[in-house]
Amino acid sequence: MNDHKAVVIGVGPSKGFGAALARRFAREGLRVYVGGRTAEKLERVAGEIRMAGGRAVPVVTDATVEGDVISLFETVSGDPGELDIVACNVDSNRRAPLLETSGDMFRQLWLQNAYAAFLVGREAARLMADQRHGTLFFTGASASLRARPPFTAFAAAKSALRALAQGMAREFGPQGIHVVHAIIDGVIDGERARNAFPEFVAQKGADGLLDLDAIADTYWQLHNQHRSAWTHELDLRPFKEPF
């Protein structure tokens, strides 16, 4: 068993993308630090990983709070081993026409989608720059590339995330850090979607939503790319998805 480590931030329910990433990295022998706001959910995911023979450390973290993010990475750096992967999967979306979008709503979407990514990216880069290697994932969305009402505020935040990823790739790529912006162009087949809009899920049918484990496999493949042929940005969508 190796001493290599991974951090996944934005872990929620067991049937969610953050949990799927944590399980995938743990399967490869990495000690995975699962970060999120709800202790009960983190403990459940970490427990499932341990039951499967993996290693997981739950750390309650609000990624919009600078002190929380710094504390998480201090915990990670205090343990032996090198930090191979950090995946920032923090995400929040709210539907609202622009004239019904309050200043507080706009600010919260920016905090959760862009500011949190900045904090996570900065602290990850501090550790990875010393190592001269590591993969940093930012999970984007269709809105990273185009703004459509009634999700203009969300698109503004996701566009900021994309700009952050581009800037970090150019700054830290030459130092050996692989920065990836993965655009999820569709609905993920997880607990959130099945609870929020079950009729839409049923309408999409077989493989009409992005499979959790399939996305996680892609992230792992990207992590293993040779540095002479790195991918910075790619998009993932179901074969049925119009674009």
Per-residue pLDDT of the chain (243 residues; tens, 9 = 90+): 568 999 999 999 999 999 999 999 999 999 999 999 999 999 999 999 999 999 999 999 999 999 999 999 999 999 999 999 999 999 878 888 999 989 999 999 999 999 999 999 999 999 999 999 999 999 999 999 999 999 999 999 999 999 999 999 999 999 999 999 999 998 898 888 787 788 888 888 889 899 999 999 999 999 999 999 999 999 999 998 887
pLDDT at residue 42 in the model: 97
Rg (CA), the chain: 17
pLDDT at residue 2 in the model: 66
Cβ atoms 126, 45 nearer than 8 A: no
pTM comes to 0.94
- Domain chopping of the chain, boundaries: 5-236
Q: Describe the crossing of helices 39-51 and 17-27 by its angle, rounded to 10 degrees.
A: 30
pLDDT at residue 95 in the model: 85
Report domain 5-236's class: alpha beta
Q: Per residue, what are the HEC states of the chain?
A: CCCCEEEEECCCCCCCHHHHHHHHHHHCCCEEEEEECCHHHHHHHHHHHHHCCCEEEEEECCCCCHHHHHHHHHHHHHCCCCEEEEEECCCCCCCCCHHHCCHHHHHHHHHHHHHHHHHHHHHHHHHHHHHCCEEEEEEEEHHHCCCCCCCHHHHHHHHHHHHHHHHHHHHHHHHCEEEEEEEECCCECCHHHHHHCHHHHHHHCCCCCECHHHHHHHHHHHHCCCHHHCCCEEEECCCCCCC
- The residues pairing with 57 across neighbouring beta strands, listed in sequence order, are 33
Q: Could you give the C-alpha distances from 49 to 32, 36, 140, 225, in angstroms and in order?
A: 9, 16, 25, 25
